[in-house]
Amino acid sequence: MDFTFSAGALELRNKVARFVESEVIPLEPRDGRPLVTGALRALREKSRSQGLWAPQLPRELGGQGLELPDVCPVFEAAGRSLLGPVALGCAAPDEGNAHLLLLAAGETQRERYLKPLARGDIRSAFAMTEPAPGAGSDPTMMRTRARREGGAWVIDGKKWFATGAAGAAFVIVAAVTEPGAGPKGAMTLFIVDAGTPGLRVTREVPILGGGTPGGHCEIEIEGCRVGDEQVLGRVGEGYALMQARLGPARLTHCMRWIGAAERALEIAARRAREREAFGRPLAEHQAVAWMLADSAIDLHASRLMVHEAAWRLSRGEKARLETSLCKVFVAEAVNRVIDRAIQVCGALGITDQLPLAHFFQEARAFRIYDGPSEVHRMVIARKVLKGS
């Protein structure tokens, strides 16, 4: 295994880091709300003009053409601000949806959905999670159904926490098309245009943090008719495609959050050097110094785990164990690092003078989305028991 990044990736990483520091961080909203549309559009044009747009996408789609291992340091640099990935066209859910469309979209779908999504002209959403008793962490509980009727598909169901759905140009909807066929053959993905009769975004669900463009939405689907041309991939292939999307997406979430956590550690270290208490800088108190050391350990281990999983995926491995290991460890490590940074900064850490409180609010959900820690621990435990 080679942990050396290409010269091009390192150069791009450095450019992204400078861009985030000089252009993105000064525009961070203090209240955690999304940047207003005009300012975001201007910021995206700057990133495009500097050759920073969509590091993960092929060059023919306007991206920078990086392979997954080389994406690691670039996404980390972008993630130093929660606004960074949005400004550079590599934020969830569009980043994961573009990856999915690259894998499974037909030529017409690529022209209609992937290309404008890659350009940043439109936004998208992914609708899999359902309110109880529907699918959450267990997709086999999915209650949304799609049936054949009059040469079309008719979809009925309810989704929620569909990130970015308010204002999205299209939603990728997961539905059961063959009840009783078993999870791996029962589901199909449909690309549903916004405004299609029968699909309605009913509300943005209020959540902790919540600065994502388009919010985290509840969707009602009733008698929504779509044609065969709206099937993504093949009928019955939905479960496999969801797994193909979620594996790399878990890693890219990890990459971005490592960047935010690294910035949090830097803020804490600076505060520890500057702030004095009991006759000496905080950094000279063992309790504070050890918090900084523990955060450095968490970040180093997180990077190595993500790099290994990315390397395995790039070699064509499924790497399900490795991505689960990453998702558990990095999600929990990031929360620890940000929490320690707030503790070191004291009362200042919970104000809007620093980004730490916003990081803290947003990072908490990382232990839940793309599979909660408990589910991934279950996957890891099965592997351990199988091998024992």
pLDDT tens digit at each of 388 positions of the chain? 788 999 999 999 999 999 999 999 999 987 767 788 899 999 999 999 999 999 999 999 999 999 999 999 999 999 999 999 999 999 999 999 999 999 999 999 999 999 999 999 999 999 999 999 999 999 989 999 999 999 999 999 999 999 999 999 999 999 999 998 876 779 999 999 999 999 999 999 999 987 789 999 999 999 999 999 999 999 999 999 999 999 899 999 999 999 999 999 999 999 999 999 999 999 999 999 999 999 999 999 999 999 999 999 999 999 999 999 999 999 999 999 999 999 999 999 999 999 999 999 999 999 999 999 999 999 999 999 998 5
**One-letter amino acid for residue 45 of the chain:** E
Strands 280-281 and 199-204: unpaired
Q: Regarding the domain delimited by 7-91, which CATH topology (the fold level of the hierarchy) does it fall under?
A: Butyryl-Coa Dehydrogenase, subunit A; domain 1 (1.10.540)
The confidence score (pLDDT) of residue 388 equals 56
- Measured in whole angstroms, how far is the alpha carbon of residue 375 from the centre of its chain? 18
DSSP-assigned letter for residue 57: S
Tell me the residue length of the chain: 388
- Which class does domain 240-387 fall in? mainly alpha
For the chain, residues classed under CATH 1.20.140.10 are: 240-387
pTM for the full model? 0.96
- Which class does domain 124-235 fall in? mainly beta
For the chain, residues classed under CATH 2.40.110.10 are: 124-235
What is the Cα–Cα distance from 92 to 81, expressed in whole angstroms?
Answer: 14
What is the Cα–Cα distance from 357 to 208, expressed in whole angstroms?
Answer: 11
The confidence score (pLDDT) of residue 345 equals 98
For the chain, residues classed under CATH 1.10.540.10 are: 7-91
Q: Which regions of the chain does DSSP assign to beta strands (E)?
A: 124-127, 145-149, 152-163, 170-176, 187-193, 199-204, 216-226, 231-232, 276-277, 280-281
What is the Cα–Cα distance from 252 to 88, expressed in whole angstroms?
Answer: 14
CB 264 within 8 A of CB 341: yes
